[in-house]
Chain A
């Protein structure tokens, strides 16, 4: 048999590919231990937030924002284009643009509302994420981001109708005023957002904004439990959600 150059190259390419494939296939690893829920973890089938704007006082409206951003190491980026926001304020006309019209009183139009990730029942961000880095936890309804997996394609930001997602256009660390070492920062190039304080719920605490608010504006609880505080509030008072016509099923309710 004569070995032509063509055959030699083919054989060489095939062997190289097979050698490269070996480490890909042989990746079996199992931990010896077991994993379980935290003993004090708060449980719910679908976490939800009710924001009672009637109780919100303007002079302390920053306490909950600061509590949220400090505990989660959210950077304060001075340029609006690159801002990172988990919990933030927008006037009524911007939070609910489809409900706003020129006959609303100035007071109502400019009344500021707390906005955060709505942790939708059917989140479009999780639907479009090409790596499942954003996903909805079926157990408790929280929409999470796996910052280890996010590739920063920003498809989720295009899909989110609420502007709840921020991209780390630059390294966030230099922009964090006071670092909370117990919670990681994010890194440049990933998308981030409110996580309903999942890290506090699993050790038996309420979300940071709820703990920080002394006026009782924020109520947090299980939407699927008819006896929960949020359900009681919702059955008593008229409330609205942001862009309900899109069918995403937001879990954040506003009493106005």
Chain B
């Protein structure tokens, strides 16, 4: 099946080469960071985590959203999703690879990364991430690959693959919950220390994943002969809409608790995010954009006429995705360090090195997803009735 990756049209190869160039640029930036040290990033002793850890958080969420496709299909027998499970699972493979690379880019001593498996530490939440992330990546790769192979040979799925599929369902929830626990378990960072963190991580994941899948399915439909049924798309829209609404509710609950109780340790960061403190307001536009995007996306998607109109739907998905990315992929991580433990404002702008390395990682992940999708689409094009 892998040979399908090497047969493509001109547009395919231009796309692949562009991504490969992105990977090359990112790699060069990484070598620069490796040679110079972490001072070339925008991070500091006050804001000690930044853009890398943010991307890791966002992408784990996208990966966990595979649950929203597998669960209706295998527990509720929603057959329309059978055509997109492989797409969802391979999306998870690509995003988890990116997550792991983002962690790798963030550590100061990457050559010692094996110290994590060599010294297993059950009381560290990061340890669980290093177990569950690669595990989920491998599980989804195996499931997706064998499922596509079975489809190509027109044989039923092996029994053990079904077992893996059922295993992957709780796995997705646990994986993203331990990601939230990294943040929710830190004393002294009021912005993170909230029990709503894990639930909110899950709902934002279950909104971001379907939004991305709808965009991808539409792109695939325009570029190839592979068709995803409207029924499947509309189901994804429903899932995304409810996830967004629950997220908005969770956010509202958090805002109420923080602002009404008004304990400085918890309000200070929110004050910085919404209004800025003493003129320091780098994250203010981002915060307003995020909240606005959430409301606009919900507003568009609740209108039946709008969500059945494909261009409007795509616009809503992009707006939702931007809002969710700002939330988890830009604001959430650095904001908890502002103000710092001494009550001072030390802002964090990501440096060009961080952004270039991130570009490279995104390009690599997209390249992997492209290759996997090429296999899926080639097989599906052969088997589907045109």
- CB pair B109–A90 under 8 Å, yes or no, is no
Residues on A with C-beta less than 8 A from B151 are: none
A124 to B192, CA, bound (A): 15
Assembled-state Cα–Cα distance A133/B123 (Å) = 13
Taking CB atoms and an 8 Å cut-off, the chain B residues in 98-154 that contact chain A are: 103, 106-110, 112-113, 115-116, 118-119, 121, 123-127, 130
Q: Which residues of A contact B123 (CB under 8 A)?
A: 127-128
Report if B336 contacts A (CB, 8 A). yes
* Inter-subunit contact B130/A94 (CB<8 Å): no
A 145-159 binary contact with B (CB < 8 Å = 1; else 0): 000011111110111
Compute how far the CA of A162 lies from the CA of B45 in the bound complex, rounded to whole angstroms.
12
Of A152, A188, A191, most buried by chain B (CB within 10 Å of CB) is A152
Tell whether, in the assembled complex, residue A243 and residue B188 are in contact, meaning their CB atoms are under 8 Å apart.
Answer: yes
Please tell me if B265 contacts chain A, counting CB pairs below 8 Å: yes
Q: Does B194 contact A (CB under 8 A)?
A: no
Q: Which residues of the other chain, B, contact A124 by a CB distance below 8 angstroms?
A: 186-188
Contacts of B115 in A (CB 8 A): 131, 133, 149, 151
Report B-chain residues with C-beta under 8 Å of the C-beta of A83. Answer: 45
Known: A128-B185, A161-B187. A155 touches B37 (CB 8 A): no
User: In the complex, what residues of A have CB within 8 A of residue B186's CB?
Assistant: 124, 128, 158-159
Q: Judging by beta carbons under 8 Å apart, are B188 and A81 in contact?
A: no
Q: Are A167 and B343 in contact (CB under 8 A)?
A: no
B46 is an interface residue with CB less than 8 A from chain A: yes
Interface residue? A247 (CB, 8 A): yes
Binds B, one of A168-176, A206-214, A230-238: A168-176
In the complex, A162 Cα to B182 Cα: how many Å? 18
User: Do A152 and B108 touch (CB < 8 A)?
Assistant: yes
A242 to chain B, nearest CB (A): 9
Point out the residues of chain A lying under 8 angstroms from B307, CB to CB.
Answer: none
Residues from chain A with a CB closer than 8 A to the CB of B285 are none
A53-94, CB under 8 A of B: which get 1 and which 0? 000000000000000000000000001111110000010011
Are A94's CB and B344's CB within 8 A?
yes
A171 to B127, CA, bound (A): 28
B189 within 8 A of A: yes
Most chain B C-beta atoms within 10 Å of own C-beta, residue among A100, A151, A168: A151
**With A and B bound together, what is the CA distance between A100 and B265 in angstroms?**
13
Q: Is the CB of A189 within 8 A of B127?
A: no
Q: How far is the CB of A25 from chain B (nearest CB, A)?
A: 14
Given contacts A132-B121, A169-B38, A171-B37, contact A157 B45 (CB under 8 A): yes
Q: Does A190 contact B (CB under 8 A)?
A: yes
Q: How far is the CA of A160 from the CA of B186 in the complex (A)?
A: 8
Q: Is B264 an interface residue (CB 8 A)?
A: yes
The main secondary structure of chain B at its interface with chain A is: loop
A248 is an interface residue with CB less than 8 A from chain B: yes
Of the residues B106, B118, B265, contact of A153 by C-beta under 8 Å? B106
Roughly how many angstroms separate A133 CA and B182 CA in the complex, as a whole number?
17
Contact between B109 and A152, CB atoms less than 8 A apart: yes
B126–A128 contact, CB under 8 A? yes
In the complex, are the beta carbons of A94 and B124 less than 8 A apart? no
Residues of A within 8 A of B48 (CB): 154, 157-158, 167
Q: Does A223 sit at the interface, judged by CB under 8 A?
A: no
When the two chains form their complex, are residues A131 and B119 in contact, meaning their CB atoms are under 8 A apart?
yes
In whole angstroms, how far apart are the Cα atoms of A130 and B123 in the complex? 8
Q: Which residue of A lies closest to B182 (CB)?
A: A155
B291 at the interface (CB under 8 A from A): no
Chain B hits for A97, CB < 8 A: 341-343
- CB pair A129 B121 closer than 8 Å: yes
Complex: chain B residue closest to A100, CB-CB:
B343
B373-384 CB mask vs A (1 if < 8 Å, else 0) is 000000000000
Smallest CB-CB separation from A84: which chain B residue? B45
A132 touches B38 (CB 8 A): no
Nearest CB on B from A16, distance (A): 18
**Is B346 part of the contact surface with A, judged by Cβ < 8 Å?**
yes
Contact of B242 with A by CB under 8 A: no
Q: Is there contact, CB below 8 Å, between B45 and A150?
A: no
Which among A81, A82, A162 has the highest number of chain B CB atoms within 10 Å? A81
Is A1 interfacial (CB-CB < 8 Å)?
no
- Residue A246 CB within 8 A of the other chain: yes
Contact of A167 among B45, B112, B119, B341 (CB under 8 A): B45
Q: Given A131-B115, A157-B48, A189-B108, A93 and B37 touching (CB < 8 A)?
A: no
Residue among B36, B108, B340 with max Cβ neighbours from chain A (10 Å): B108
Task: Please name the 8 residue pairs, one residue from A and one from B, whose CB atoms are nearest each other, closest first.
Answer: A152-B108, A161-B188, A189-B108, A81-B44, A97-B343, A169-B39, A94-B342, A157-B48
Q: Beyond A128-B125, A163-B342, A169-B39, list 5 extra A-B contacts (CB 8 Å).
A: A97-B343, A149-B115, A158-B337, A161-B187, A162-B188
B residues sitting closer than 8 Å to A (CB atoms) are: 36-39, 43-46, 48-49, 103, 106-110, 112-113, 115-116, 118-119, 121, 123-127, 130, 182, 185-189, 264-265, 336-337, 340-344, 346
A/B interface sample: 10 pairs, CB < 8 A: A128-B185, A151-B107, A152-B112, A153-B107, A158-B186, A163-B340, A167-B38, A170-B37, A189-B109, A191-B108
Give the B-binding residues of A (Cβ under 8 A).
79-84, 90, 93-95, 97-98, 100, 124, 127-133, 149-155, 157-163, 165-171, 188-191, 243, 246-248
